[in-house]
Amino acid sequence: MLKVYGIKNCNSMKKAFDLLNELGLSYEFHDYKKQGIDADSVKTWLDALGQDVVLNKKGTTWRKLTPEEQNTALENEANLIQALTTHTSLIKRPIIATSTGFLAGFDEAAIREIQA
């Protein structure tokens, strides 16, 4: 079964849910706005996908951080993990855990290729 990480009220998430349902793929949803996210999960995503994929610099949460906070988050992996677990909206949505790895962000073609 797939595990989908994200925030319920997000356009990218709604598109992902709709597509997964259309494809008949079963999934478990982890709302990290309500449930939080642990540092180990974030580290796994960073190792698999890289900082440039996991960190959403286009969102308002990143833009609301001061330049000092942004620089501190980017100084090293430990600081970035701290920032991502504290400000979960900084994580690109959705993150989908599949049997072969992870997908980040809404990518219709990639989601359609997921094998149940």
CA distances in angstroms from 31 to 36, 75, 79, listed in the order given: 7, 27, 22
Question: Which tens digit of pLDDT belongs to each residue from 41-72?
Answer: 999 999 999 999 999 999 999 999 999 999 99
Q: Determine which one of 7, 10, 48, 53 is catalytic.
A: 10
Q: Is 52 noted as a catalytic residue in this protein? A: no
Structure pTM? 0.92
* pLDDT tens digits, 70-92: 999 999 999 999 999 999 999 99
What is the span of the domain harbouring residue 17?
2-112
Residue 116 has pLDDT above 90, yes or no: no
Query: Structurally, how many domains does the chain consist of?
Result: 1
**What is the number of residues in the chain?**
116
Contact 116, 21 (CB under 8 A): no
From the list 37, 28, 30, 41, the residue with the least C-alpha distance to 2 is: 28
**Can you give the CATH number for the domain in which 24 is found?**
3.40.30.10
The tens digit of pLDDT for each residue in 20-46 reads 999 999 999 999 999 999 999 999 999
